[in-house]
Chains A and B, each alone.
Chain A
Amino acid sequence: MKSVKLVDLAKTIRSKNAGTDRITFDIIFRKKDNYELVKKSGVLTKETVAKLYNISESRIVDFVEFDPAFAIKFTINRLVPSGSFGEGDIFGCQQYPPLLDIEVPVEE
């Protein structure tokens, strides 16, 4: 089956702090068809995200499909609060790139 990368289907893929203890990820589509395609494909779920980031599913505290914005959103716990000793990304805004390359199967 043919596949397309998520980066080529989504309008916005981003990550950002949600408070001091969490990072939230938004994948937003311009149109309903791409949103539905990704939703139904099963490539973007709690399980696949946990595997991609090599974290336990329990660290994903929320996973929402948000129809009004054609968006899929999930949130993970930080192991230590933002800006603690040893921080690499205070704002949590550069944690999304692994999502860009997710392969989404499409009908030929």
Chain B
Amino acid sequence: MRKETLRIHCSNGHLGFAPTKEESFWIGAKTKPDYYCCDSGSDDIGPVPLGADKCASHHEWQKHDLELMLIAARKQGVPMIIGSAGDTGTNSRVDMYVDFIRDIARRHKMKKFTLAYFYSEVDKEYLRKKMKAGEIVEGLDGRSDLTFEELDKTDRIVAVAGVHPFIKALEMGADVVIGGRSSDACVFAAPAIYQGFPENIAYYCGKVLECASFCAEPYGAKETVIGTITRNDVKVTAMHPAQRCTVASVAGHAMYERTNPYYEYVAGGMLDMKECVYEQYDEKTCRITGAKFIPVKGKIKVKVEGSGKVGERYLGMAGIRDPYTIKHIDEVIRWARDQVEERFSGKEYKLSYRIFGKNGVMGDLEPVKETKSHELMVIVEGVAPTKEVAEEVAMIGMRQIFYARLPEVKGTAGTAAFVLDEVVEVSPAYQWTMNHTVAVDDSMELFQVYTTEIGE
């Protein structure tokens, strides 16, 4: 039977990144929603997790959040949908989430259910073949179209799924869906479309729910909100006793992390929010109408994200308190750089200094040019093809701050204070090599959906 309303529970805007708050989760669960949905990814976390194929979030938090959702969803016998497994949505992160679900089901002795999962990773050779055939892998956000050189620099690529693999998973009878990299809005839009609701409503519902309580006020992350849709409107309700979804909070959220508050692009089209009307429906609920989904003309374009390794990386830290040295910090850094260059001239390396207390946070964007701080912290970053060289670059770069030769310095026993007299190995440096779209003939071309039975 066709549903007239559909209610979707969202408890976390980035599942696992910080633990879901339980009180509002269960308040929401008590209202017996039709779906439990969350996205678990972000490109905010920088290029390292995708490139190195690891998580930015703590496994215990991911398990905690998945467990809450799985218990609630299985108890009620309704589906649970997760997008962008493990922050990046790579294949290994999908497999890991499937294992987490299996473990949780076993621990709670859950009855048999069907889990569907899909992969989003894209083979470099797939893109190379397309490019060789003359197809353009189009740059987003001002990037130029993909070159073979940039492709070669890439270590790992994920395609950002639209609603298609989620709908396919639901059609295959999934009780739980674990998705690879996905557009967050589509994690919510998919069940709505699957249940026959109009695309205008489904995509807007996804757009407003994707960050959970970020669309509520007062500010408080990781709290549950519930989206209720009919064929004509979307209502979003805050579950935390102290939070409300207001016209201001919901309209304000439309802008969050997006270049423009009116348009949201997903694989398959664009959500136009120019004519959206926001109304206070009740104390905790905002009602929204007027969003339009405009399907893409021609081939579907799927966003692809790529990350490539730049080199091994070490960090050093040097504090400075001497006012004369602070005043001449640029000369100090020049001296230290010269010492590194003397040692590694002609070799491949990168050395960066961020000077906190001067412009460490904003760099060239910093309008405050006069340094008034009485102390500075210099973060030294050394990157090179091998660990040995990266370590030495960072070490010389840091230690030579200590030996800086300034003509009138009083403190001749060392011009830097060290928290550690060593440099520390951190994740290798990576770079976002791809923020592009690729045109596909079939919406499922880049995503493979599988099912497995879980439980007793």
Measured CB to CB, the residues of A under 8 A from B are: 11-12, 16-22, 24, 26, 28, 30, 52-55, 61-62, 64, 66, 68-71, 73, 75, 77, 79-91, 94-95, 98
Q: Please state if B248 and A70 are interface contacts (CB–CB under 8 Å).
A: yes
Are A69 and B352 also in contact (CB < 8 A) when A24-B259, A83-B46 are?
no
Are A17 and B257 also in contact (CB < 8 A) when A26-B252, A85-B352 are?
yes
Chain B residues, Cβ within 8 Å of A20: 43, 47, 141, 305, 432, 435
Are A81 and B362 also in contact (CB < 8 A) when A20-B43, A71-B255 are?
no
Which of chain B's residues 258-314 have a Cβ closer than 8 Å to chain A?
Answer: 258-262, 276, 278, 305, 310, 313
A66 to B263, CA, bound (A): 12
Q: Please state if B354 and A86 are interface contacts (CB–CB under 8 Å).
A: yes
Q: Please state if B257 and A69 are interface contacts (CB–CB under 8 Å).
A: no
A98 to B381, CA, bound (A): 26
Are A24 and B257 also in contact (CB < 8 A) when A19-B435, A77-B142, A84-B431 are?
yes
Which of B188-196, B320-328, B363-371 is the contact stretch?
B363-371
Most buried by B among A68, A73, A80, A98: A68
Chain B residues, Cβ within 8 Å of A28: 248, 252, 255
Query: For the complex, is B36 an interface residue (Cβ under 8 Å from A)?
Result: no
A57 to B429, CA, bound (A): 31
A84 to B435, CA, bound (A): 14
Most buried by A among B248, B252, B365, B381: B365
Q: Please state if B142 and A85 are interface contacts (CB–CB under 8 Å).
A: no
Q: Nearest chain A CB to B247's CB is how many angstroms away? A: 8
Closest chain A residue to B435, Cβ basis:
A20
Q: Nearest chain A CB to B338's CB is how many angstroms away? A: 18
Count: A-B pairs, CB below 8 Å? 143
Chain A residues, Cβ within 8 Å of B140: 19, 21
Measured CB to CB, the residues of B under 8 A from A are: 43-48, 140-143, 247-248, 251-252, 254-262, 276, 278, 305, 310, 313, 350, 352, 354, 360-368, 381, 383, 429-432, 435
A84 to B47, CA, bound (A): 8
Q: Nearest chain B CB to A45's CB is how many angstroms away? A: 16
Are A19 and B141 also in contact (CB < 8 A) when A28-B252, A95-B362 are?
yes
Chain A residues, Cβ within 8 Å of B368: 98
Q: State the majority secondary structure of interface residues on A.
A: loop
A38 to B254, CA, bound (A): 21
Closest chain A residue to B364, Cβ basis:
A54
Are A88 and B361 also in contact (CB < 8 A) when A69-B252, A69-B261, A75-B260 are?
yes
Are A88 and B44 also in contact (CB < 8 A) when A26-B255, A61-B259, A64-B260 are?
no
Q: Please state if B141 and A30 are interface contacts (CB–CB under 8 Å).
A: no
Q: Please state if B432 and A83 are interface contacts (CB–CB under 8 Å).
A: yes
A19 to B139, CA, bound (A): 13
Q: Please state if B258 and A90 are interface contacts (CB–CB under 8 Å).
A: no
Q: Please state if B430 and A83 are interface contacts (CB–CB under 8 Å).
A: yes
Q: Please state if A26 and B362 are interface contacts (CB–CB under 8 Å).
A: no
Q: Please state if B252 and A18 are interface contacts (CB–CB under 8 Å).
A: no
